[in-house]
Amino acid sequence: MKLAFALVVGVLSQGSGRFRQAEVELRGPLAALEIAVLGPTAGSGETSTRLELDLAPGELRRVSVPLFASAECGDPALRELPQSEGSAMWTGWTREGEAEFAQAWLALPIGLRTRPSVALFDGVAGREPEPAALLFSAALFVLVLALRRRPALALASGLATGAVLVAWLARRDIAPRELRVLEGAGDGAWVAWDSGFESLRVPATAPLQLEVEPRSAAVRAHGRLSPSGVGELTLEARGALLRRASPVDAGHRRISAAANGWGALEEVWVRSEHGRWSVHGPWEAGEPLPEGRAGDPPGGFNPALPQGTAVVIARLAPGTFSAGASAARPVWLRWIGPAEADSGLPR
């Protein structure tokens, strides 16, 4: 039996980004259920979860429901929608794995935990004009030309139709974009940041870190609960950047100009300790770093990175290293560390 649910989140002003699992016992018949958790302070908002159920009379299920609420929040309140002969009861919070994830996050180098995020999701610059918008603009241009002998009418028509176009574009949904960046440090530590503008698919396990920017953005998550539990969630927040950190086991992969130990890289940029950037094109697995030429990386990957140290930015070929990420999600690598003698990186 599959259980579909929609998770509606109002990011709390305190403790936002916390991920908790609520244990709920359900007995059919139940059609829908709403779970509400008040914030830790007055006016901090409410996190609510609506579960669409299909429980037959007498059917008993104990489910673990992902909630984005801090430990300071009170106990959740459950409301059956509509009221039925079934029952729903919260039995407690599940803390399985939370301590391990928290320790793993704190064990990472502080420079890795506080590194500036990739700034690619501005919601405006990435929006591509749709064919309908281009046709509308062309028609507007033709109309203004046709009325060029009557300037007042042409101006009025242009302003009116232009206003309609702006209003129409403003109401259009921005296509969701997602990205994975593998962040590495000189000591071999790695963490994966999955980011999405307005939408992000994430596993329902406890993350190392979960961030929403702006913190006041309302987040809606959708998912499906199978007999084995909740699998993947899709978080949605209009106009917001969603980021989720997860651990990465890089194994023997390392950054070295002597040989590419990561796999096929479609394009590579290297910054020397003196701050000079070079672009090196594709870099095949096992091959030494190709000759480069002066060239800057995409601006979103270089937001005030620390000076006096080497930086490597690379776009991974599809399937090179996508563990835990959607196959359609682009994967990039960003490594910052000292240009040690055995690395062979430019100084």
What is the reported pTM?
0.72
Both tokens of 253, joined, read: 């992969």
What is the spatial distance between Cα 198 and Cα 240, in angstroms, rounded to a whole number?
A: 5
143 pLDDT tier (thresholds 50, 70, 90):
low
Check: CB of residue 339 under 8 Å from CB of residue 273.
yes
- Sign of the CA dihedral 81, 49, 205, 314? positive
The one-letter amino acid at 290: P
Check: CB of residue 324 under 8 Å from CB of residue 192.
yes
Check: CB of residue 182 under 8 Å from CB of residue 331.
yes
Check: CB of residue 313 under 8 Å from CB of residue 293.
no
What is the spatial distance between Cα 247 and Cα 207, in angstroms, rounded to a whole number?
A: 8
Domain segments of the chain as ranges: 1-121+197-240, 131-171, 265-337
| 30, pLDDT greater than 80 | yes
Interval 224-268: pLDDT, tens: 766 666 777 788 778 888 889 988 888 888 888 888 888 899 999
So what's the pLDDT on residue 98?
72
Three-state secondary structure readout of 209-265: EEEEECCCCEEEEEEEEECCEEEEEEEEEEEEEEEEEEECCCCCCCCCCCCCCCCCE
So what's the pLDDT on residue 280?
94
| 129, pLDDT greater than 50 | no
What is the spatial distance between Cα 122 and Cα 332, in angstroms, rounded to a whole number?
A: 18
Interval 177-221: pLDDT, tens: 788 999 998 878 899 999 998 888 888 777 788 888 887 676 777
Q: Which of 7-11, 137-141, 204-208, 264-268 has the lowest mean pLDDT?
A: 7-11
Q: Which of 11-15, 24-28, 32-36, 124-128 has the lowest mean pLDDT?
A: 11-15
| pLDDT above 90: percentage of residues in the chain | 16
